[in-house]
């Protein structure tokens, strides 16, 4: 018999599901199965499960025909499980490295009915908070609830418990429907278990989601907690002869749980709190035994007494007094924060005052503002959207934001404002449409009735947004809360493919609408002809009879700016006189006015400052890159790509990646400089294996790049969308 069945209910978790599955399947311990229950998920979760099941026999998928909710989905997984033990894990969390091996050793050593494991809370802004480690560490090796009552104070979720499947079958304990379903599962289970044990190490990383969590959802469904506690107490009495002895301990925990919900303003609306308090008072009278229950600690004693008497006005007064005490205690910190805020506002000076004044004036319904790469010029997805919007939207006035140093790069006839000027603030305040491929600066306000479009500027290989929390070497901006406030301004987020949609859902959790339509900047590549290529080559002064190789290295946060990862001069020598090597440095390393000239202009051409990268793609016969998103765009042309990855292990570990590039490349792969030279000189880069890899890559990432992405964006945003 398989030792362990991991039951994984799946619903609307496409952004997190891969991480969860990988954390299980990459463990050194292998004697387990995953029973993944697709609870009729409307996103791409089902496709992700099918992909994993196809490549790993340990993954079995149970597909439900209708959405039944978390509890019943877990029951469906339990019915299909074959393991000696069952572990119900939530599919937006993930398992710590080595956890399965540690769990297996503990199960085999003590053969418990229930094993409780440690966990930590991983917040979306990078904070990690340990939980219940002390309670688990101090427990006896094997015990019952009466022998170690502190176990009831460990969080009552299902996923921190591994349960003997025979015990569930014998008692019939299952998950009831509705919110707080863990309550009526956990406490009866602990009450009937004769052998409970603990593993005081972090086994589960409990994701504290920024959006979508029930614990931060304002809804009267939180009243369902009363039904589940009633059901829990009934099941304890039904299945355990120790019900009377356990009732005082369970009642104390029940009241604690009720107070947690009552005091959380993200769960209960103001108008519902009095009714909730009344239900608490009813349950107090119904379930507290005549002998009482162990007294709570600290000021909880007062709260319990007020619940006992049903005095809601007095409870409100006590809560207000508690907040006053907290406010006084935090006065020093608040004062410092206020001082910093005042200083920041002072620095903004008259321009910010002017901007605030402009925000009071009417929105210009015909004004659209565009920007790219922190105001570096007219380029990328915003440029393609601007061109199509100007063509299709009657009366539209397009204005670009440009940094002062980049004014010289603006195409003739383009209306623009210089960032930081009075006209800039006036334009930003009055614009109806704001389109950018990076976030607008923090002071920019999202006005009601305006529309913000985030186009992004690449398909992600490296981790971005909140996914950088676990990869601090890659995060140039650690203010994740500030990042998310800027993300909250988005109305639309454009993605090029399903891979990007899934990645952005986890990296940028907010309430915007995703437009999975392809990247507008690739429209030109998708419909390019041989004449287009010839025209660009002539524009760049490239001979039509020479092979053009474009080299686009990406940024490495751990190296000093400008540190070369390839000797381009030596490569040009080895490729010979019939080849021209175009070198385009990452935009982080490009000086605003001048670029150092590389040797031998005839065989090496520095195009780092060239404003239109699509021209370079069209001109090139071959692309060499390492981890740049250029590979996804260039693949639209269906021309050879060579991945030069001499430091893949370091990049993958430090920067974090969304998939294994070396396992799923867009063409040939070279992990050393000699390999790179041989790949290019031998023709391997254009051979059958490389061509097959490119075809698979294109099928995965380029399916929407058909030349119509910009028009799809414009028609959705300008003609179908509604501002918020």
Residues of the chain with CATH 3.40.50.12580: 528-701
Residues 6+ apart with CB under 8 A from 303: 259, 296, 315, 318
Residues of the chain with CATH 3.40.50.11820: 361-521
Residues 6+ apart with CB under 8 A from 409: 376, 377, 378, 402, 611
Dump the DSSP string for 386-454: HHHHHHHSTT-EEEEEE-GGGGGGSPTT--EEETTSHHHHHHHHHEEEEEESSPPPTT----TT-EEEE
Q: How far apart are CA 260 and CA 413, in angstroms?
A: 61
Strands 161-164 and 85-88: antiparallel
What pLDDT, on a 0 to 100 scale, did the predictor assign at position 71? 94
Q: How far apart are CA 71 and CA 67, in angstroms?
A: 11
Instruction: Give the Cα-Cα-Cα angle 391, 394, 398 (nearest 5 degrees).
Output: 65
Share in percent of the chain as helix, strand, coil (round to 5): 45, 15, 35
What pLDDT, on a 0 to 100 scale, did the predictor assign at position 600? 41
3-class secondary structure per residue, 266-289 = CCCCHHHHHHHHHHHHHHHHHHCC
Q: Which residues of the chain have pLDDT under 70?
A: 132, 326, 329-349, 472-477, 557-564, 586-602, 722-724
Of 663, 621, 669, residue with least CA distance to 645: 669
Strands 196-208 and 94-95: antiparallel
Residues 6+ apart with CB under 8 A from 543: 537, 580
What pLDDT, on a 0 to 100 scale, did the predictor assign at position 650? 83
Q: Are 343 and 408 in contact (CB under 8 A)?
A: no
Q: Are 223 and 139 in contact (CB under 8 A)?
A: no
Of 283, 272, 152, residue with least CA distance to 227: 283
Strand partners, 583: 551, 606
What pLDDT, on a 0 to 100 scale, did the predictor assign at position 152? 92
Tell me the two tokens of residue 81.
């499980």
Of 168, 8, 157, 162, residue with least CA distance to 73: 8
pTM score: 0.76
Q: How far apart are CA 399 and CA 50, in angstroms?
A: 46
Residues 6+ apart with CB under 8 A from 529: none
What pLDDT, on a 0 to 100 scale, did the predictor assign at position 334? 59
What superfamily does domain 361-521 belong to in CATH? CDP-glycerol glycerophosphotransferase, N-terminal domain (3.40.50.11820)
CATH 3.90.550.10 fits 1-210, yes or no: yes
Tell me the C-alpha to C-alpha distance, in Å, between residue 614 and each of 340, 361, 430, 607, 611.
Answer: 44, 39, 32, 12, 9
10 Å Cβ neighbour count for 137? 12
Determine the straight-line distance between the first and last CA of the chain, rounded to whole angstroms: 56
Give the largest CA-CA distance in the chain.
96
Q: Which SS3 state, helix, strand or coil, does residue 711 take?
A: helix
What CATH number should be reported for the domain whose range is 528-701? Answer: 3.40.50.12580
Of 651, 635, 656, residue with least CA distance to 704: 635
Residues of the chain with CATH 3.90.550.10: 1-210
Phi, psi of 311 (to 5 degrees): -95, 85
Residues 6+ apart with CB under 8 A from 67: 11, 39, 40, 41
What pLDDT, on a 0 to 100 scale, did the predictor assign at position 128? 83
C-alpha torsion sign, points 620, 623, 624, 627: positive
Q: How far apart are CA 599 and CA 590, in angstroms?
A: 17
Q: Are 627 and 557 in contact (CB under 8 A)?
A: no
- Burial profile 692-702: b = 16 or more Cβ within 10 angstroms, e = fewer: ebbeebbebbb
Of 375, 379, 381, residue with least CA distance to 717: 381
What pLDDT, on a 0 to 100 scale, did the predictor assign at position 566? 82
Q: How far apart are CA 281 and CA 13, in angstroms?
A: 38
Phi, psi of 626 (to 5 degrees): -105, -80
Q: Are 398 and 435 in contact (CB under 8 A)?
A: no
For 495, left (φ over 0), alpha (ψ -120 to 50), or beta?
beta
Q: Are 496 and 701 in contact (CB under 8 A)?
A: yes
Q: How far apart are CA 379 and CA 439, in angstroms?
A: 15
Phi, psi of 380 (to 5 degrees): 60, -160
Q: Are 256 and 250 in contact (CB under 8 A)?
A: no
Of 210, 592, 635, residue with least CA distance to 419: 592
For 684, left (φ over 0), alpha (ψ -120 to 50), or beta?
alpha
What pLDDT, on a 0 to 100 scale, did the predictor assign at position 371? 97
Sole residue written with tokens 């002869």:
241
Of 226, 214, 231, residue with least CA distance to 176: 231
| DSSP for residue 220 | G
Phi, psi of 205 (to 5 degrees): -95, 110
| DSSP for residue 296 | P
Query: Which residue intervals of 240-379 are DSSP H helices?
Result: 243-262, 270-287, 300-309, 312-329, 331-359
């Amino acid at each position: 018999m398989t030792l362990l069945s991991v039951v994984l209910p799946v619903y609307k978790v496409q952004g997190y599901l891969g991480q969860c599955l990988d954390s299980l399947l990459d463990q050194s311990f292998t004697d387990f199965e995953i029973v993944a229950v697709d609870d009729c998920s409307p996103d791409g979760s089902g496709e992700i499960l099918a992909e994993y099941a196809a490549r790993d026999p340990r993954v079995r998928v149970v597909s439900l025909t209708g959405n039944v909710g978390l509890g019943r989905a877990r029951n469906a997984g339990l019915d299909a499980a074959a393991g000696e033990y069952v572990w119900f894990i939530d599919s937006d969390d993930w398992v710590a490295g080595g956890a399965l091996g540690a769990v297996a050793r503990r199960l085999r050593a003590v053969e418990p009915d229930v094993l409780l494991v440690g966990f930590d809370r991983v917040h979306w802004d990078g904070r990690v908070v340990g939980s219940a480690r002390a309670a688990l560490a101090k427990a006896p090796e094997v015990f019952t609830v009466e022998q170690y009552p502190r176990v009831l104070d460990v969080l009552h979720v299902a996923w921190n418990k591994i349960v003997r499947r025979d015990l569930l079958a014998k008692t019939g304990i299952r998950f009831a429907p509705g919110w707080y379903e863990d309550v009526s599962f956990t406490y009866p289970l602990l009450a009937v278990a004769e052998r409970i044990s603990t593993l005081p190490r972090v086994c589960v990383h409990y994701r504290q989601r920024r959006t979508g969590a029930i614990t931060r959802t304002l809804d009267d469904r939180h009243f369902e907690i009363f039904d589940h506690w009633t059901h829990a107490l009934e099941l304890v009495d039904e299945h355990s002869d120790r019900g009377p002895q356990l009732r005082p301990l369970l009642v104390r925990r029940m009241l604690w749980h009720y107070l947690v919900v009552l005091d959380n303003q993200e769960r209960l609306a103001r108008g519902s709190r009095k009714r909730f308090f009344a239900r608490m008072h009813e349950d107090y009278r119904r379930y507290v035994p005549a002998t009482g229950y162990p007294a709570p600690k600290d000021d909880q004693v007062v709260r319990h007494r007020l619940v006992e008497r049903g005095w809601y006005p007095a409870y409100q007064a006590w809560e207000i007094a508690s907040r006053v005490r907290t406010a006084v205690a935090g006065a020093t910190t608040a004062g410092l924060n206020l001082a910093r805020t005042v200083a920041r506002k002072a620095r903004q000076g008259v321009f910010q005052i002017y901007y605030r004044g402009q925000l009071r004036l009417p929105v210009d319904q015909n004004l659209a503002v565009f920007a790219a790469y922190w105001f570096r010029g007219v380029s990328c997805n915003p440029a393609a959207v601007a061109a199509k919007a100007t063509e299709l939207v009657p009366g539209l006035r397009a204005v670009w934001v440009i940094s002062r140093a980049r004014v010289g790069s603006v195409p003739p006839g383009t209306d623009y404002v210089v960032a930081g000027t009075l006209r800039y603030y006036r334009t930003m305040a009055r614009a109806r449409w704001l389109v950018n491929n990076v976030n607008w600066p923090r002071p920019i306000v999202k006005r009601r009735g305006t529309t913000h479009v985030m186009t992004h500027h690449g398909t992600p290989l490296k981790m971005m947004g909140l996914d950088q929390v676990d990869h601090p070497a890659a995060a140039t901006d650690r203010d994740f809360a500030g990042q998310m406030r800027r993300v909250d301004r988005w109305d639309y987020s454009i993605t090029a493919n399903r891979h990007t949609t899934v990645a952005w859902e986890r990296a940028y959790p907010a309430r915007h609408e995703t437009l999975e339509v392809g990247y507008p900047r690739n429209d030109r590549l998708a419909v390019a002809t041989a004449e287009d290529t010839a025209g660009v080559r002539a524009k760049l002064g490239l001979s039509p009879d020479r092979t053009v190789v474009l080299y686009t290295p990406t940024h490495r946060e751990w190296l000093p700016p400008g540190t070369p990862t390839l000797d381009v001069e030596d490569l040009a020598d080895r490729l010979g006189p019939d080849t021209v090597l175009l070198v385009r440095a990452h935009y982080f390393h490009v000086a605003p006015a001048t670029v150092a000239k590389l040797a031998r202009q005839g065989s090496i051409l520095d195009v780092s400052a060239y404003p239109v990268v699509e021209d370079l793609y069209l001109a090139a016969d071959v692309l060499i890159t390492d981890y740049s998103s250029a590979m996804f765009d260039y693949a639209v042309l269906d021309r050879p790509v060579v991945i030069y990855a001499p430091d893949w292990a370091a990049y993958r570990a430090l920067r974090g990646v969304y998939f294994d590039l070396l396992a799923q490349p867009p063409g040939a792969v070279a992990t050393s400089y000699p390999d790179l030279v041989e790949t290019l000189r031998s023709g391997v880069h254009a051979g059958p294996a490389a061509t097959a890899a490119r075809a698979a890559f294109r099928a995965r990432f380029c399916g929407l790049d058909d030349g119509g992405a910009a028009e799809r964006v414009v028609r959705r945003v300008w003609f179908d969308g509604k501002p918020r």
